[in-house]
Amino acid sequence: MTFDLSSLTVTGIREGLAAREFSAVELAESAYARIDALDADVHAFNSLSRDLASEAARAVDALVAAGGELPPLAGVPVAFKDNMNLRGTTTTCSSRILEGYRSVYDCTAVRRMLDAGALPVGKCNMDEFAFGSSTENSAFGPTHNPWDLDRVPGGSSGGSAAAIAAGEVVLSLGSDTGGSIRQPGALTGTVAMKPTYGRVSRYGCVAFASSLDQIGPFSKTVEECAQTMNVICGKDPMDATSLERPAEDFTAGLRGGVKGLRVGIVRDLLDLEGCDPRVRRSVLDAADTLAGLGAEVGDVDLPSTQYGLPAYYIIGPAEASSNLARFDGIRYGHRAKDADDVLDLYLRSRAEGFGPESIRRIMIGTYALSAGYYDAYYGQAQKVRTLIIRDFERAFADFDVLLTPTSPTTAFKIGEKAADPVSMYLSDVYTIPVNLAGIPAVSVPCGSVDGLPVGLQIMGSHFAESTILRAAYAVEQACGFDPVPPLVKALAGGRGTTAS
């Protein structure tokens, strides 16, 4: 038997396994049946790990047979962005420079998911080294949005988002440096969270910008997002930037309501040129919904965030230039042939292995860090970052959560912005300030425009994940957004993948 994973939740899977309504092996088979049916069109995955998923499923079924207590993610099919290491699998970052590389260790967040009983289905497509907002900058071709196969799923974690929207897995992990979880979450109608910097270990995730990167979950529902956070958060001695925090159950307060919650609409961001008026209206409607549920809604300005985009595109590339220097064709990955000497080998290997967007960002970052320009560019960008942090601190003195759109538009057509990098960069105008400040934020669907999802970004102060998840849950329940695209519904209804 195979099952429609888009109709199953984490809790439903755990209860179904305990009641022996289905097996973990059947759940793994269901994931691969959906991938076989859809992924030639969607291209959410770069690689599949059928043997590892089958091994994990058999272990769960053995635990059920023995009457043991099931771990929190028992039997849940999951996927990981292809910049996260899992021993024995390929980790490509969707780049030719890592051609043939097989991981020799595990990413901590990945390992925590697997230790919680999850089934590792495979690795998801992404913009090369997370450089992009559309998942078109992949050496292996673009990912397509399940809501409209002619449109992008966002990026850089577009494959992880599309895998959830397509019902190929139940949970996935992405990484977020300037919006790379939340923006694809908005464009694919999934719940997508960037935790507080340091909440989740970055160990084993290939670095883009080390002071900005953070791993977080994609899911169909806010509750499943919270359940995933329960598993992946916590101090890791392998990551010096991970923070010591008491264990927290992020599901505990979800149904607590929003009465008295102080909600700030970030007006100066909401009114930015380039925001689709229909997206703006959906966000304001969500704010009205929260007000109707008892929240205290007001306006707030974050004046320095208007400089977030240029600051980010100095800080991010500068850190990327440093981090990507290790990919040289010597120890692993693509190596050029017929080089004249070591320097020529470096130059040829990197020129052949990196795609155009990666080369662009490496060059920008190297320039910003070069002698004579460090203070003028990188130093100034860090000062802007400090101003943005202070703006958020002032705002959170008056409000518990802040609202903006997650993306200024719904999903755009594949190729529409490929020739205009600046237009593409503007896709992250609402999400970048969050990374610069290191605070948490979640994107939750709040409506649709022309049949395409709209995402609401809910931001909180450091370690306020429980508060923003409670607000997101209230929006989710009130809006009643259906996270299953018509393409997936047609497959489930027409091809018999709902228990066949």
E strand or H helix at 119: strand 119-124
Q: 156 catalytic, yes or no? A: yes
Query: Which residue among the candidates 156, 175, 321, 349 is catalytic per the annotation?
Result: 156
Q: CA-to-CA distance for 64 and 53, rounded, in angstroms?
A: 17
Query: Which residue among the candidates 180, 242, 349, 407 is catalytic per the annotation?
Result: 180
Q: CA-to-CA distance for 472 and 309, rounded, in angstroms?
A: 25
Q: Can you spell out the DSSP letters for 15-73?
A: HHHHTTSS-HHHHHHHHHHHHHHHHHHH--EEEE-HHHHHHHHHHHHHHHHTTPPPPTT
Strand partners, 460: 401
Q: CA-to-CA distance for 150 and 144, rounded, in angstroms?
A: 7
Query: Which residue among the candidates 81, 123, 194, 417 is catalytic per the annotation?
Result: 81
Q: Can you spell out the DSSP letters for 317-369?
A: HHHHHHHGGG-SSSSSS---SS-SSHHHHHHHHHHHHS-HHHHHHHHHHHHHH
Q: Is the separation of the CB atoms in 165 and 488 below 8 Å?
A: yes
Question: Distances from the Cα of 52 to the Cαs of 77, 87, 89, 119, 363, in angstroms?
Answer: 11, 10, 9, 8, 39
Q: 81 catalytic, yes or no? A: yes
- For the chain, how many residues are written? 500
* Residues known to be catalytic: 81, 156, 180
